Amino acid sequence: MALITVHQEGLYCEQGGFHIDPWRPVDCALITHAHSDHARSGSHHYLATHRSEGILRRRLGNDINLQGVEYGQKIKLGNTWVSFHPAGHVLGSAQIRVEYRDEVWVVSGDYKRNDDPTCDAFEVVPCDTFITEATFGLPIYKWQTGKQTCQQIYDWWQGDRDRPSLLFCYAFGKAQRILGELTQLTEQPVYVHGAVHVLTEIYRQAGIAMVETIPASELPRSHSFNGALILAPPSAYRSTWMRRFPQPQTGFASGWMAVRGARRRRGYERGFVLSDHADWQGLVDTVLQTQAKTVYVTHGQTEVLSRYLSEVHHINALPLNTLFEGEGDI
Ligand SMILES: [Zn+2]
Ligand SMILES: [Zn+2]
pLDDT tens string 25-49: 999 999 999 999 999 999 999 999 9
111 phi, psi to nearest 5 deg:
-150, 160
Degrees, nearest 5: CA angle 136-138-140? 100
CA dihedral (321, 323, 328, 330) positive or negative: positive
Residue type for position 223: H
**Residues having C-beta closer than 5 Å to ion ligand 1:** 35, 110
Looking at mean pLDDT, say which of 218-222, 258-262, 290-294 comes out highest. 290-294
Predicted local distance difference test score (pLDDT) of residue 8:
92
Predicted local distance difference test score (pLDDT) of residue 261:
84
**Cα of 221 from ligand 2 centre, angstroms:** 38
pLDDT band at 326 (very low <50, low <70, confident <90, very high): low
Predicted local distance difference test score (pLDDT) of residue 329:
43
328 pLDDT above the threshold of 60: no
% of the chain at pLDDT higher than 90: 92
**Cα of 42 from ligand 2 centre, angstroms:** 19
Predicted local distance difference test score (pLDDT) of residue 260:
79
Residue 98 CA, chain-centre distance (Å), reads: 22
pTM of the predicted protein model? 0.95
**Cα of 324 from ligand 2 centre, angstroms:** 5
330 pLDDT above the threshold of 60: no
**How many whole angstroms separate alpha carbon 305 and alpha carbon 24?**
27
Predicted local distance difference test score (pLDDT) of residue 20:
98
**Cα of 196 from ligand 2 centre, angstroms:** 19
Q: Which ligand is nearest to the CA of 173?
A: 1
Q: With beta carbons less than 8 A apart as the criterion, state whether 263 and 271 touch.
A: yes
Q: Name the least confident of 104-113, 182-191, 255-264, 293-302.
A: 255-264
- Summarised one tens digit per residue, pLDDT across range 203-245 is 999 999 999 999 999 999 889 999 999 999 999 999 999 999 9
Domains of the chain: 5-140+277-319 (3.60.15.10), 146-273 (3.40.50.10890)
The stretch 273-286 carries a mean pLDDT of 97
**Cα of 37 from ligand 1 centre, angstroms:** 7
The stretch 141-170 carries a mean pLDDT of 97
Q: Which ligand is nearest to the CA of 93?
A: 1
**Cα of 324 from ligand 1 centre, angstroms:** 9
**Cα of 185 from ligand 2 centre, angstroms:** 30
**Cα of 158 from ligand 1 centre, angstroms:** 30
Degrees, nearest 5: CA angle 136-142-145? 110
**How many whole angstroms separate alpha carbon 140 and alpha carbon 119?**
26
What does the DSSP assignment read for 24-89?
S--SEEE-S--STTT--S--SEEEEEGGGHHHHHHHH-TTS-EEEE-TT--EEETTEEEEEEE-SS
159 pLDDT above the threshold of 60: yes
User: In the 8-state DSSP scheme, what is residue 178?
Assistant: H
**Cα of 62 from ligand 2 centre, angstroms:** 23
265 pLDDT above the threshold of 90: no
User: In the 8-state DSSP scheme, what is residue 94?
Assistant: E
